[in-house]
Structure 1
Amino acid sequence: MTQPTAPTSTTPGKQMLSEQVYAHLRDAILRGDHAPGDALKPQDLAKEQGVSLAVVREALVRVVGDGLADRLPNRGFAVPAFSDRRWQEIAEARRTIEPLMLRMSIERGDVDWEARVRAAHHRLARTPPYAPDEGAHYTAAWAEAHRLFHRTLLEGCGNPVLMETFDRLWTASELARRWAATRTPARDGIDEHRSLEEAALARDPETAATVLTRHLTVTAAALTARD
């Protein structure tokens, strides 16, 4: 009797290792360890991390999905080039999608969503944006509070596909923001965030969408500001 072929699957150990390599690579790119346009060579990364090429390639594919790397035909993987046009295209996509998601959130969000929005804004408002030893760079705590506030505003839309799109665009924008911090002053948008919270909780979709569009426009302009 012919034995059935065992299905191929990723072992828990390999999956955990792949997750660790992915997290390391993602953080390294966001930290600026790899300059814009730098090649991400699987062989070098595998040697550096002490893992197989298969694990590294899997991590690289995920980083590409996050918008933190490009897969180039016949050239492998590379960190995105620092192109103002690229970031303006990302900003245009966010200005198109996020105000619509916010309108949907205001329409569909329940009382629990309102409570999460209030809590997320409170955390953002109470988290210092800068640390004395980090100059004009945002702290990691503020960056995470900022992401969670924007994400919480939109998650009331109840559409996981749209939320996945938001996550990818946010990550790509975060990379641009960190690179731009070396050439333009940081901004915290305190009043804009407060206005977003107030309009969302007042169930005012027109005002909320307008405030969010303006907020994203100002951020995009800051990312391409020149000294």
Structure 2
Amino acid sequence: MTQTVGGPGLPGKQMLSEQVHARLREAILHGAYSPGDPLKPQELAKEQGVSLAVVREALVRLVGEGLASRLPNRGFAVPAFSDRRWQELTEARLTVESAMLRMAIERGDVEWESRVRAAHHRLTRTPAFAPEEGEYYSDAWSEAHRGFHRALLEGCGNSVLLDTFDRMWTASELARRWSSHRAPSRSATEEHGRLEEAALARDPAAAADALVRHLSLTAAALSPS
């Protein structure tokens, strides 16, 4: 039976939307849906046992996170490999994060260096895959990965740029997980090692080059064959 609440905006409705959002987010990130699969609100409402309004609210939030696409007159779907957003996101990240990394190398202090080393150590010690979580990168590794990249850039000292990084990172999370299977010979460990080494050597050109290569390989894995 569909769960209902007294009216819009009430805590019950919000809680249901949060729960549906969390379940759908986990399913998409762990490969329960294939690229391009439709996300049909009516079917999801029936599966989740909630109202159509609750499901639509959750789907709209997923669209904002880059984990779903809104299709004109056709509802919602998981983004496809061919979706132009991946190339646009990469272009934006290459532009913004390269500049942030150069700034971080110029401005970062010893505390920044320590945070980068600690974040890289955590990343190297965290298994990339967990059998119980499916075929894509594990949640623990994904969080350690985000922590390392953010630590690298935090030395820039610009909160507006860091907020921009956070939004772009969330929007590109699905592409990162998919790319692990589209480019199996790739060594993320080596790529991250080169990034840390160049950043802590205070070599902005080498660090920016390493970052550009790192981000470009993810985008290349999703390009049409």
Q: TM-score range by the shorter chain?
A: 0.7 to 0.9
Q: Does 1:88 align with 2:91?
A: no
Deviation at 1:100, TM superposition (A): 1.2
1:161/1:33 CA distance change after superposition, 3 Å: farther
**1:72–1:164: structure 2 CA closer, same or farther, 3 Å change rule?**
farther
1:56 is displaced (CA, Å) by: 1.8
Match in the other structure for 1:35 = 34
The one-letter amino acid paired with 2:186 is: R
Q: Distance in 2 between matches of 1:210 and 1:183?
A: 22
Superposition CA RMSD, Å: 3.0
Give the 5 Å matches for 1:122-137: 122-130=121-129, 137=136
**Where do 1:132-151 residues align within 5 Å?**
137-151=136-150
TM-score between the two structures when normalised by the length of structure 1: 0.79
Question: 1:65 touches 1:168 (CA, 8 Å); kept in 2?
Answer: no
Task: Give the percent of matched residue pairs that are identical in Structure 1 and Structure 2.
Answer: 72
TM superposition shift of 1:167 = 3.3
TM-score, scaled relative to structure 2: 0.79
User: Residues 91 and 110 of structure 1: is their aligned pair in 2 closer, same or farther, counting only changes over 3 Å?
Assistant: same
Quote the offset at 1:20 in angstroms: 2.0
Counterpart Cα distance in 2 of 1:209 and 1:55 = 43
- Correspondence for 2:216: 217
Measured after TM superposition, the shift of residue 189 of structure 1 is 2.3
Residue 76 of structure 2 is matched in structure 1 by 77
- Which residue type is aligned with residue 101 of structure 2? L
Q: Give the 5 Å matches for 1:44-123.
A: 44-83=43-82, 85-123=84-122
Is 1:192–1:215's contact at 8 Å kept on the other side of the alignment? yes
1:136–1:23 distance in 2 versus 1, CA, 3 Å: closer
- Aligned-pair distance for 1:186? 5.1
Aligned residues, how many?
219
Unaligned runs of 5+ in 2: 1-6
Q: Secondary structure at the match of 1:10?
A: coil
CA distance 1:113–1:58, shift in 2 (3 Å): farther
Instruction: Quote the Cα distance in structure 2 between the aligned partners of 1:112 and 1:9.
Output: 47
* Post-superposition offset of 1:215: 1.8
C-alpha change, 1:36 and 1:110, in structure 2 (3 Å) is: same
How far the C-alpha of 1:85 sits from its partner, in A, is 4.8
Give the distance between the partners of 1:164 and 1:78, measured in 2 at CA.
27
C-alpha distance in structure 2 between counterparts of 1:60 and 1:204, whole Å: 43
Tell me the equivalent position of 1:194. Answer: 193
The 10-residue stretch of structure 1 (195-204 or 21-30) with the greater mean CA deviation from structure 2: 195-204
CA distance in 1, matches of 2:36, 2:148: 31
Unmatched segments (≥5 aa) in structure 1: 1-7
Q: Residue in 2 aligned with 1:167?
A: 166
Question: For residues 144-192 of structure 1, what are the alpha-carbon distances to aligned partners after superposition, in whole Å with 9 as ceiling and x for unaligned?
Answer: 2222211222233344443344334334433224334444315332232
Structure 1 residue aligned with 2:4: none
> Which secondary structure state, in structure 2, belongs to the residue aligned with residue 37 of structure 1?
coil
Do 2:31 and 2:134's aligned partners in 1 also have CA atoms closer than 8 Å? no
Counterpart residue type for residue 76 of structure 1 = G
How far has the Cα of 1:130 moved from its partner?
Answer: 4.4
| Distance in 2 separating the partners of 1:135 and 1:61 | 25
